[in-house]
């Protein structure tokens, strides 16, 4: 008898959450030791990513164990209450999208603090506008059970992610190439890989949603790879940037 994909996803995300929480505690300890501002930004960014995974995990708990009628039978009409509004956006990953959007915007702030002398006005306006569009679409471009709208939102998240993390990745790699000290080379390389891993998160989610549009059930390999890339990004930044730089 095949196991429920929702249950498999819940167990998988439980493991990812536990592992990410351990790394977050280690990052917090490093920050309390040295009070380094960039470490604090990374800690907050990683915390938002982890909470996004927690809400994804919560969606599966609700589907498997809540017994709520409009969750168990998606053909039932939306009750139209505030509670149902929130629950629908939990089980269809929209709260997770919001948290990812916040993490991406904070990553832009981090990029400016590491590589720039200040904000470029036009760039900042574009980033804020994209953040607001992604944030609002995550919450309001929604209809229960509409996979196409989900795919569009995943695409928006992917565009926003790439818009921030691709320049972050390039600048980090360039710094890696020109830096001679091994400690700094390792730090910049880890930030470059972190950026790549985070770009791959919404990309894999988007592919998973497209398989559903094509008639599949979802929970493909791409779904699981997405959260794995989050953890790899956090893990790499800790061991390559945060931990060596604070010892």
Alpha carbons within 13 angstroms on the beta-carbon side of residue 50 total 22
CATH class of this structure's domain 5-246: mainly alpha
3-state secondary structure of 242: helix
For the segment 78-127, what is each residue's pLDDT rounded down to a tens digit? 898 999 999 999 999 999 999 999 999 999 999 999 998 899 999 999 99
For the segment 135-164, what is each residue's pLDDT rounded down to a tens digit? 999 999 999 888 889 889 989 999 999 999
pTM exceeds 0.85 for this model? yes
For the segment 6-52, what is each residue's pLDDT rounded down to a tens digit? 999 999 999 999 999 999 999 999 999 988 899 999 999 999 999 99
Residue 179 DSSP one-character state = -
If pLDDT is split at 50, 70 and 90, which confidence band does 1 have?
Answer: low
For residues 174-203, give the mean pLDDT: 92
- What residues contact 219, with CB distance under 8 A and at least 6 apart? 5, 6, 8, 9, 208
Neighbours of 243 (CB within 10 A): 17
Domain ranges of the chain: 5-246
Instruction: Name all contacts of 178-184 with Cβ < 8 Å and 24+ positions apart.
Output: 183/244, 183/245
């Amino acid at each position: 008898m095949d196991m429920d994909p929702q249950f498999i996803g819940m167990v998988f995300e439980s493991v990812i959450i536990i592992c990410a929480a351990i790394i977050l505690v280690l990052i917090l300890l490093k920050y309390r030791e040295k009070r380094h501002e960039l470490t604090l930004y990374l800690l907050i960014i990683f915390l938002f990513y982890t909470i996004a995974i927690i809400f994804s995990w919560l969606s599966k708990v609700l589907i498997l164990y809540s017994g709520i009628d409009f969750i168990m039978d998606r053909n039932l009409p939306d009750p139209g209450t505030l509670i149902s509004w929130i629950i629908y956006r939990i089980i269809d990953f929209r709260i997770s999208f919001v948290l990812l959007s916040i993490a991406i915007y904070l990553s832009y702030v981090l990029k400016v603090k590491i590589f720039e002398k200040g904000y470029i006005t036009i760039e900042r306006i574009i980033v804020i506008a994209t953040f607001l569009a992604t944030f609002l679409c995550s919450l309001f471009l929604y209809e229960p059970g509409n996979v196409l709208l989900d795919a569009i939102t995943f695409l928006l998240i992917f565009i926003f992610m790439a818009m921030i993390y691709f320049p972050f990745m390039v600048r980090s790699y360039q710094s890696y190439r020109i830096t001679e000290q091994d400690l700094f080379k390792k730090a910049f390389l880890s930030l470059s890989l972190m950026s790549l891993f985070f770009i791959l998160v919404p990309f894999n989610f988007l592919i998973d949603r497209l398989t559903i549009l094509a008639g599949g059930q979802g929970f493909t390999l791409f779904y699981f790879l997405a959260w794995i890339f989050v953890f790899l990004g956090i893990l790499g930044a800790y061991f390559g940037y945060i931990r060596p730089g604070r010892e």
